[in-house]
Every structure is written in structure tokens, then in C-alpha cells.
């Protein structure tokens, strides 16, 4: 939770803006995220609006698409509004949350191995559920992962689709983290599940090392194989999301070799480091203590 800057809105739709969720526009995030309060002064929400350099029409289409989804692990979209002279926006119920880059800052560096292992399993399950329903997230990056006490939530749905239509070069466009963007999507290809898997590899590399394109030797042993496979430039060589945390029931003689690197990882909620838990608790306390901004008309004498 960060103080508002001079160019931040004080109102999103009917909601009063209390603070920013992010310090800056995090690693390739296509949106600006704010903690807001309803007109009744009691209910708090997470509001999102497109970046100034993002196409608001395409962003609004993806926000409406996200509103129609109900996938565990996706940040739910409760209301979509704006348009015309007003920037589009959407809201989600507020729970204390840290974007993954902010969690690394709070922890003072890469997350511990058990946390990364559990995060990997939770995100892989979320993507596998989406892919089984024919949904491609197309926006996974470190900034898109929000850590909460109840497990990770994926925001930034459809960032790749919002950045540019299929067939147009997306490499270097604002709002996209180049380290998390699959080569075929950067070249303008239609977002498909293998692109989500590529982004998952980049996110796990970031959680474990602090950057999305590490050398293989920088990765902890349990991540080297899966992350290397996820980051293959050839989509056909990447594993499916479900293969990263589960396999068919092994035969007894093969049981010793059948487990995947993410088996036995703790399901959501994941075991967060104490430093991250403290940061979440601090954010919650700040939100509870926050006062609504005083309208400019009341500050004039």
C-alpha cells in the first residue's frame, strides 16, 4: 500500500481512492491498481484501470471477459464500469495482497525454496483449471501474481490480447513484461496455453532468483528441469500445466520415479515467509485506519 501520486485518480467510478497497491507500475503490468472504498464508507475494494499508454478499449474487453469467469485462483472481477470520457475500470473484493515483486522486496530477496515450491504448485493448478475450461490467461507475469493469506491470485487477465491484436508484433509494447512473454506471442501469435506455461516458468524463476531470465545454475535444483522446460522457445516442447503438479497413478514398480518435482507441495494457502505476513498485516492495518480523501471543494476557504 503506497501513498497516491499527483497524477493518480482520487475517484474511480463511485469509489474513493485510498492508496496505490503498487509502488510503481510493476514489471510489465498493463494496469494501475488502487485500494478504494465504496460510497457507504464501509466496503473496500481493489480497483484497476488501464495504464495511460494502454489501449483502454481492448483493456475493457478483457476486463469484461474476466468478469464472466469463475476460476479458482483468478482474481474475481465483480464490477466493470467506465467508458466514453471516463477510463474503463473494474473492481474486486479487497483482501490484503502483495504483488510478487513487492513480496520479494518485503522479504529482502528471493523467496525460500518451500515457498516457491508451493507457489509453483498453486499457480500450475490454477492454469490447469483454466486450460481445461478452454481459457488462456494471457497475462501472467510477476506483477500479475498477488500473494494473499489464502493463496496466490492471478490478475492482469488478457494483458497480451489487450496489448495488440493477433498478427501484430507485441515485443517491446508497454504493459508487457518481456521476460514473461512467450516468443510466439511476442511475434503476434494468438495466446494459447503453452504461452501461459512459458510465463509460469518466468514467474517461478523470478520468485526463486529475483529475475525472469536466470542462468540455469542460478535456479534451485528442484526448479531447474521444470523451469527450463517451461521456457523452451518451442511451444511443443513445453509441459502442460497439469504435468507440473500431477501425473497418472504410477505402477508400483515405477512409483519411486513417477513423482513430479512439484508433488507434495502445499496447496493454497501457501506457507508465506514471516516478513511477507507482516507486510500483509501492516497493509490491512493501514487500510482500516485510512480516511477517505477530503473533496477539493471542502478544502477551499
Alpha helices in the chain (DSSP H): 56-67, 100-107, 113-132, 159-163, 183-186, 193-209, 221-230, 255-258, 274-289, 296-299
Which sign does the torsion angle of CA 63, 69, 74, 78 carry?
positive
Q: What is the pLDDT of residue 266?
A: 39
What average pLDDT does range 132-159 have in this prediction? Answer: 96
Q: 1-10, 129-138, 219-228, 275-284 — which is least confidently predicted?
A: 1-10
Q: What is the pLDDT of residue 206?
A: 97
> If pLDDT is split at 50, 70 and 90, which confidence band does 260 have?
very low
C-alpha 196/C-alpha 177 separation (Å) is: 13
My answer on whether 169 and 39 are in the same domain is no
My answer on whether 264 and 284 are in the same domain is no
Q: What is the pLDDT of residue 269?
A: 79
User: What's the chain's length in residues?
Assistant: 301
C-alpha 118/C-alpha 124 separation (Å) is: 10
Which of the two residues, 254 and 122, has the higher pLDDT score?
Answer: 122
Q: How many other β-carbons are positioned within 10 Å of the β-carbon of residue 189?
A: 17
- The answer as to whether 248 is a domain residue is yes
Give the closest residue to 48 by CA, choosing from 160, 141, 181, 156.
Answer: 156
My answer on whether 15 and 76 are in the same domain is yes
C-alpha 176/C-alpha 140 separation (Å) is: 9
pLDDT greater than 60 at residue 268:
no
C-alpha 152/C-alpha 268 separation (Å) is: 7
Give the closest residue to 208 by CA, choosing from 71, 92, 82, 104.
Answer: 104
Judged by phi (left if over 0) then psi (alpha if -120 to 50, else beta), residue 277 lies in alpha
What average pLDDT does range 65-85 have in this prediction? Answer: 93
Determine phi and psi for 130, rounding to 5 degrees: -65, -45
My answer on whether 214 and 179 are in the same domain is yes
pLDDT greater than 80 at residue 300:
no
Cell of 28: 510489465
Proportion of the chain above pLDDT 90, given as a percent: 72
Q: What is the pLDDT of residue 274?
A: 96
User: 3-state secondary structure string, 100-126?
Assistant: HHHHHHHHCCCCCHHHHHHHHHHHHHH
- The answer as to whether 42 is a domain residue is yes
Prediction pTM value: 0.88
Provide the CATH number for the domain around residue 68. Answer: 3.30.200.20
- The answer as to whether 298 is a domain residue is no
What average pLDDT does range 114-123 have in this prediction? Answer: 96
My answer on whether 158 and 184 are in the same domain is yes
My answer on whether 108 and 151 are in the same domain is yes
pLDDT tens track for 200-258: 999 999 999 999 988 889 999 999 999 999 999 999 999 999 998 653 333 444 333 33
Name the packing angle between helices 193-209 and 221-230 (round to 10°): 150
- The answer as to whether 301 is a domain residue is no
My answer on whether 110 and 40 are in the same domain is no
My answer on whether 156 and 170 are in the same domain is yes
- The answer as to whether 92 is a domain residue is yes
The total number of structural domains in the chain stands at 2
Which sign does the torsion angle of CA 154, 89, 59, 131 carry?
positive
C-alpha 272/C-alpha 115 separation (Å) is: 6
My answer on whether 178 and 245 are in the same domain is yes
Place of cell 522446460: 229
> If pLDDT is split at 50, 70 and 90, which confidence band does 190 have?
very high
> Do 66 and 158 touch, CB atoms closer than 8 A?
yes
Q: What is the pLDDT of residue 267?
A: 43
My answer on whether 158 and 136 are in the same domain is yes
pLDDT tens track for 274-298: 999 999 999 999 999 887 665 544 4
- The answer as to whether 266 is a domain residue is yes
Which sign does the torsion angle of CA 216, 218, 221, 227 carry?
negative
- The answer as to whether 6 is a domain residue is no
- The answer as to whether 300 is a domain residue is no
My answer on whether 77 and 176 are in the same domain is no
Residues spanned by the domain of 198? 98-276
Q: What is the pLDDT of residue 294?
A: 58
My answer on whether 124 and 210 are in the same domain is yes
SS3 call for 66: helix
What average pLDDT does range 138-158 have in this prediction? Answer: 95
Buried b (16+ CB within 10 A) or exposed e, 92-121: bebbbbbbbbbbbbbbeebbbeebbbbbbb
Provide the CATH number for the domain around residue 228. Answer: 1.10.510.10
Amino acid at each position: 500500500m503506497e501513498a497516491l501520486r499527483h497524477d493518480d485518480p482520487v475517484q474511480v467510478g463511485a469509489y474513493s481512492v485510498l492508496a496505490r497497491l503498487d509502488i510503481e507500475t510493476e514489471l510489465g503490468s498493463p494496469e494501475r491498481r488502487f485500494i478504494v472504498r465504496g460510497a457507504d464508507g464501509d466496503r473496500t475494494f481493489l480497483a484497476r484501470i488501464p495504464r495511460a499508454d494502454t489501449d483502454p478499449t481492448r483493456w475493457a474487453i478483457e476486463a469484461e471477459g474476466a468478469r464472466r469467469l469463475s476460476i479458482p485462483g483468478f482474481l474475481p472481477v465483480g464490477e466493470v464500469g467506465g467508458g466514453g470520457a471516463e477510463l474503463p475500470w473494474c473492481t474486486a473484493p479487497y483482501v490484503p495482497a502483495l504483488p510478487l515483486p513487492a513480496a520479494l522486496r518485503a522479504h529482502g530477496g528471493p523467496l525460500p525454496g518451500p515457498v516457491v515450491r508451493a507457489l509453483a504448485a498453486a499457480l500450475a493448478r490454477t492454469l490447469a483449471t483454466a486450460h481445461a475450461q478452454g481459457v488462456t490467461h494471457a497475462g501472467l507475469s510477476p506483477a500479475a501474481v498477488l500473494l494473499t493469506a489464502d493463496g496466490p491470485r492471478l490478475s492482469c487477465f488478457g494483458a497480451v490480447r489487450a496489448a495488440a491484436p493477433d498478427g501484430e508484433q507485441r515485443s517491446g509494447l508497454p504493459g508487457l513484461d518481456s521476460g514473461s512473454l512467450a516468443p510466439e506471442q511476442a511475434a503476434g501469435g494468438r495466446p494459447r496455453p503453452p504461452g501461459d506455461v512459458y510465463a509460469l516458468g518466468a514467474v517461478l524463476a523470478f520468485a526463486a532468483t529475483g529475475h525472469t531470465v536466470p542462468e540455469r545454475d542460478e535456479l534451485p535444483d528442484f526448479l531447474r528441469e521444470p523451469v527450463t522446460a517451461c521456457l523452451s522457445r518451442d511451444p511443443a516442447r513445453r509441459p502442460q500445466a497439469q504435468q507440473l503438479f500431477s501425473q497418472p497413478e504410477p505402477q508400483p514398480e515405477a512409483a519411486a520415479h513417477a513423482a513430479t518435482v512439484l508433488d507434495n507441495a502445499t496447496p493454497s494457502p501457501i506457507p508465506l515467509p514471516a516478513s511477507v505476513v507482516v507486510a500483509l498485516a501492516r497493509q490491512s492495518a493501514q487500510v482500516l485506519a485510512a480516511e477517505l480523501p477530503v473533496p477539493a471543494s471542502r478544502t477551499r476557504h
